[in-house]
Amino acid sequence: MKIYSIIICLCIFGLSGCSPLNPDQVLAPEPKADRIEVISQRGREKLVGHISDPSTVAKVVAYVNSLPSTWHTPWPEGAIAVIRLEFYDKGILVGRFAVAPDYFERWSHTDWCFLKATPTQIQELNDAAGMDLLKLASAEH
Protein backbone atom coordinates (compact mmCIF):
# COMPACT_ATOMS: atom_id res chain seq x y z
CA MET A 1 0.00 0.00 0.00
CA LYS A 2 2.90 2.38 0.77
CA ILE A 3 4.35 1.89 -2.69
CA TYR A 4 1.06 3.01 -4.27
CA SER A 5 1.06 6.12 -2.08
CA ILE A 6 4.60 6.96 -3.19
CA ILE A 7 3.70 6.46 -6.87
CA ILE A 8 0.59 8.65 -6.52
CA CYS A 9 2.63 11.40 -4.81
CA LEU A 10 5.27 11.30 -7.54
CA CYS A 11 2.59 11.58 -10.22
CA ILE A 12 0.94 14.53 -8.47
CA PHE A 13 4.26 16.37 -8.10
CA GLY A 14 5.18 15.60 -11.71
CA LEU A 15 1.87 16.96 -13.00
CA SER A 16 2.09 20.06 -10.83
CA GLY A 17 5.44 21.11 -12.30
CA CYS A 18 7.37 20.53 -9.07
CA SER A 19 9.27 17.60 -10.51
CA PRO A 20 12.97 17.91 -11.33
CA LEU A 21 11.92 16.67 -14.78
CA ASN A 22 10.15 20.02 -15.35
CA PRO A 23 12.74 22.64 -14.37
CA ASP A 24 11.12 25.64 -16.09
CA GLN A 25 11.50 29.01 -14.43
CA VAL A 26 9.43 32.18 -14.80
CA LEU A 27 11.78 35.16 -14.93
CA ALA A 28 10.95 38.71 -13.94
CA PRO A 29 11.29 41.40 -16.60
CA GLU A 30 14.76 42.80 -17.21
CA PRO A 31 15.01 46.04 -15.21
CA LYS A 32 15.67 49.48 -16.64
CA ALA A 33 19.28 50.07 -17.66
CA ASP A 34 21.33 53.03 -18.85
CA ARG A 35 24.28 51.13 -20.34
CA ILE A 36 24.99 47.69 -21.80
CA GLU A 37 28.42 46.12 -22.00
CA VAL A 38 28.94 43.62 -24.84
CA ILE A 39 31.32 40.81 -23.87
CA SER A 40 32.68 38.09 -26.14
CA GLN A 41 32.78 34.68 -24.48
CA ARG A 42 34.80 32.95 -27.20
CA GLY A 43 38.02 31.85 -25.56
CA ARG A 44 38.89 34.43 -22.92
CA GLU A 45 36.15 36.89 -22.05
CA LYS A 46 36.71 40.25 -23.66
CA LEU A 47 34.77 43.51 -23.67
CA VAL A 48 34.05 44.12 -27.38
CA GLY A 49 31.61 47.00 -27.23
CA HIS A 50 29.05 48.92 -25.31
CA ILE A 51 25.66 50.49 -25.88
CA SER A 52 25.03 53.78 -24.12
CA ASP A 53 22.52 55.53 -26.39
CA PRO A 54 19.36 55.67 -24.21
CA SER A 55 17.06 54.81 -27.13
CA THR A 56 19.12 51.76 -28.14
CA VAL A 57 19.45 50.53 -24.54
CA ALA A 58 15.67 50.84 -24.12
CA LYS A 59 15.09 48.88 -27.38
CA VAL A 60 17.35 46.03 -26.22
CA VAL A 61 15.71 45.88 -22.78
CA ALA A 62 12.26 45.96 -24.41
CA TYR A 63 13.28 43.15 -26.79
CA VAL A 64 14.51 40.94 -23.93
CA ASN A 65 11.26 41.64 -22.06
CA SER A 66 9.21 40.75 -25.17
CA LEU A 67 10.48 37.17 -25.03
CA PRO A 68 8.41 34.55 -23.18
CA SER A 69 8.75 34.78 -19.41
CA THR A 70 9.17 31.00 -18.97
CA TRP A 71 12.77 29.87 -19.45
CA HIS A 72 14.38 26.46 -19.03
CA THR A 73 17.02 25.09 -16.69
CA PRO A 74 19.44 23.49 -16.82
CA TRP A 75 20.77 24.93 -20.03
CA PRO A 76 22.02 22.51 -22.71
CA GLU A 77 25.01 20.45 -21.64
CA GLY A 78 28.22 21.97 -22.89
CA ALA A 79 26.49 25.00 -24.36
CA ILE A 80 28.28 28.31 -24.05
CA ALA A 81 26.79 31.46 -25.49
CA VAL A 82 29.23 33.43 -27.62
CA ILE A 83 28.25 36.94 -26.55
CA ARG A 84 26.94 38.28 -23.25
CA LEU A 85 25.14 41.54 -22.63
CA GLU A 86 25.50 42.99 -19.13
CA PHE A 87 22.90 45.58 -18.20
CA TYR A 88 23.93 48.41 -15.85
CA ASP A 89 21.89 51.12 -14.17
CA LYS A 90 23.89 53.93 -12.55
CA GLY A 91 26.98 51.70 -12.54
CA ILE A 92 25.27 48.73 -10.86
CA LEU A 93 24.94 45.40 -12.72
CA VAL A 94 21.19 44.72 -12.95
CA GLY A 95 20.96 41.90 -15.49
CA ARG A 96 22.70 39.50 -17.85
CA PHE A 97 21.57 38.16 -21.21
CA ALA A 98 23.59 35.98 -23.58
CA VAL A 99 23.31 34.93 -27.21
CA ALA A 100 24.34 31.76 -29.06
CA PRO A 101 23.58 30.83 -32.68
CA ASP A 102 20.35 29.03 -31.68
CA TYR A 103 19.39 30.06 -28.15
CA PHE A 104 19.33 32.87 -25.63
CA GLU A 105 20.38 32.72 -21.96
CA ARG A 106 19.29 34.86 -19.02
CA TRP A 107 20.69 35.00 -15.51
CA SER A 108 17.98 34.30 -12.93
CA HIS A 109 19.98 35.43 -9.86
CA THR A 110 20.78 31.78 -9.11
CA ASP A 111 21.43 30.08 -12.45
CA TRP A 112 21.54 30.57 -16.20
CA CYS A 113 18.27 29.73 -17.95
CA PHE A 114 17.90 29.16 -21.68
CA LEU A 115 15.34 29.63 -24.43
CA LYS A 116 15.61 28.32 -27.99
CA ALA A 117 16.01 31.15 -30.49
CA THR A 118 15.24 31.28 -34.18
CA PRO A 119 17.40 33.16 -36.69
CA THR A 120 14.58 35.72 -36.92
CA GLN A 121 14.67 36.31 -33.15
CA ILE A 122 18.44 36.75 -33.20
CA GLN A 123 18.09 39.22 -36.07
CA GLU A 124 15.44 41.14 -34.10
CA LEU A 125 17.89 41.43 -31.21
CA ASN A 126 20.63 42.58 -33.61
CA ASP A 127 18.24 45.20 -34.99
CA ALA A 128 17.42 46.45 -31.48
CA ALA A 129 21.13 46.59 -30.56
CA GLY A 130 22.17 48.16 -33.85
CA MET A 131 24.91 45.57 -34.35
CA ASP A 132 25.40 41.95 -35.41
CA LEU A 133 26.25 40.45 -32.04
CA LEU A 134 27.37 36.99 -33.20
CA LYS A 135 29.54 38.46 -35.96
CA LEU A 136 31.07 40.89 -33.44
CA ALA A 137 32.05 37.95 -31.20
CA SER A 138 33.57 36.07 -34.15
CA ALA A 139 35.56 39.08 -35.35
CA GLU A 140 37.24 39.50 -31.98
CA HIS A 141 38.83 36.02 -31.90
Give the model's confidence band at 131: pLDDT under 50 very low, under 70 low, under 90 confident, else very high.
very high
Kindly report, residue by residue over 53-96, the tens digit of the pLDDT. Answer: 999 999 999 999 999 999 987 655 666 788 999 999 999 999 99
What is the mean pLDDT of the segment spanning 31-52? 91
Q: Rounded distance, CA 94 to CA 30, Å? A: 8
pLDDT, residue 78, reads 60
pLDDT, residue 128, reads 97
The amino acid at residue 7 is I
Peptide bond into 74 cis (omega under 30): yes
Percent of the chain surpassing pLDDT 90: 50
Q: Which CATH number fits domain 23-139: 1.10.1740, 2.60.40, 1.10.287, 3.10.50?
A: 2.60.40
Answer yes or no: is pLDDT of 3 > 60.
Answer: no
* Secondary structure of the chain as H, E, C letters: CHHHHHHHHHHHHHHHCCCCCCCEEECCCCCCCCEEEEEECCCCCEEEEEECCHHHHHHHHHHHHHCCCEEECCCCCCCCCCEEEEEEECCEEEEEEEECCCEEEEECCCCEEEEECCHHHHHHHHHHHCCCHHHHHHHCC
Question: Cβ distance 106 to 117 under 8 Å?
Answer: no
